[in-house]
Chain A
Amino acid sequence: MQTPAPVDYAKATSIADALAKLQAHGEEARVVAGGHSLLPMMKLRLARPDALIDINDIPELVGIKVVGSEIVVGAMTRHREILSSDILSEHYPIFREAERVIADPIVRNRGTIGGSMCQADPAADMSAVGSALRGNAVVVGPSGTRTVPLREFHQGPYETVVQYGEILTELRYPIRPGAGSAYEKVERRAGDWGVATAGVFVVVSGGVVTDCGIGLAAVGADHYCSPQGEASLMGKEPTEDNLRAAAAATAASCSPNADQRGPVDYKVHLAEELTLRALRRAVRSSQGA
């Protein structure tokens, strides 16, 4: 039987209230959102916070909306809402494609995008999507609000720039007219973490790639992205040869670990193949085919 260690609990009613409660409970207090990463970690005693500050019933943290030239997603927005969001799938089908293969419908009813980002699991699909799209995180703390590029948000496995007393409140993704996007994942069984995943966006204009982003999870890509793969494709015609070269450059920039999900060479192979498949589909979609 797995049970968390004794812990205090307080429910926050607003962002300000959550910040105050984090302060009051000290450095070993943790924010609990959907709880589908933190509670399993607590049950395994890998995490042992003194107090949980529950942000589940803070309406200002929930929702998906277009603000100016960005899509703003509240940190408490649940995976199910991201999967079914018309706004996200209109601008970036990568969200729906990734969400379809995140865990299972029951877990998606509860788990949140903010929780996933803050858990910072090396295999987290939403982290790969966020890095591919070069989104930003809005972090609020006692000394104010700061905006952090998602490519600088993660500092390593299970570690982010969110400091004690701070809360991730929003994720922001720039809208890129004409962008195509796609997500590819190989998993051992339905709902598992990926063996490898790749998610991309591409903007093709005037016959050449004018903008692109390549995100990866579970393959040891720094900050879940491959600037090397992107550099290989920028300004080029999106020919099969050029896509293959970009996929190869992407795979070369990954350094996965061997584990129960597969050996290193297999994961590198997957990184290349999945990047190539995602690029092909994103290019077709950007060209309106």
Chain B
Amino acid sequence: MQVTITINGVEQSRDVEPRMLLVHFIRDELGMRGTHWGCDTSNCGACTVTVDGDTVKSCTMLAVQANGKAVGTVEGLAQGGELDPVQKGFMECHGLQCGYCTPGMMLQARWMLDHNPHPTEEEIREGISGNICRCTGYKNIVAAIQYAAENPATSEVPA
């Protein structure tokens, strides 16, 4: 079945089986390996991407269901050569160790901050409760997201 999906602003068309999961479309058909494939059971959140602006676990959506939609992955987080504040936060606050959960974690953090620019620590922890990290104990991930909230991109700061 022919699908056309806009990934990070670029239209991509492929002929795929209806049973192909979105995560495999992104990684195997498009060769974009920034999106990680983790537990395969909608639990870990490593495969988190955005579909029409909302975060989705791409192991639990068919590629054909994203036909005609806009998908965002970690490769699209940086804008114009400038890292997203969330990416800067993960760098500044040592928000990762092995890095496996990081793409999904950062996309969910971006989505959360877009809807709640000044989250409390509890709201951050609730916001990333669908993203599992086995290394950090979450402390530095929370700090990274707090950093991003406190240091928004210049384009986000009201004039």
Q: CA separation between A6 and B1, bound complex, in Å?
A: 12
- Chain B: number of interface residues, binned into ranges: 20 to 34
Of the candidates B55, B62, B64, the one whose C-beta lies within 8 Å of that of A106 is: B55
- B5 interface residue, CB < 8 Å from A? no
- Chain A: number of interface residues, binned into ranges: 20 to 34
Q: CA separation between A68 and B130, bound complex, in Å?
A: 37
In the complex formed, the residue of A with least CB distance to B53 is A109
Selected interface stretch from A36-44, A87-95, A132-140, A145-153:
A36-44
CB distance from A4 to the nearest CB of B (A): 4
Q: Cβ of A40 and Cβ of B41 under 8 Å apart? A: yes
Q: CA separation between A3 and B41, bound complex, in Å?
A: 11
Interface residues in chain B, defined as those with a beta carbon under 8 Å from any beta carbon in chain A = 1, 17-21, 24, 40-43, 45, 48, 54-57, 60-62, 64-65, 67, 108, 112, 126-127, 129-131
CB distance from B95 to the nearest CB of A (A): 18
CB distance from B16 to the nearest CB of A (A): 10
- A8 interface residue, CB < 8 Å from B? yes
Q: Cβ of A7 and Cβ of B129 under 8 Å apart? A: no
Q: CA separation between A36 and B59, bound complex, in Å?
A: 10
The 6 tightest CB contacts between A and B, nearest first, are A104-B130, A9-B18, A106-B130, A4-B19, A190-B129, A109-B54
Query: Known: A1-B40, A40-B42. Contact between A35 and B61, CB under 8 A?
Result: yes
Q: Cβ of A5 and Cβ of B54 under 8 Å apart? A: no
In the complex formed, the residue of A with least CB distance to B50 is A109
Other than the given A4-B21, A35-B61, A36-B42, 16 more pairs (CB < 8 A) read A3-B19, A8-B18, A9-B1, A9-B64, A39-B60, A40-B41, A103-B130, A104-B45, A104-B129, A104-B130, A105-B108, A106-B45, A106-B55, A109-B56, A110-B57, A191-B43
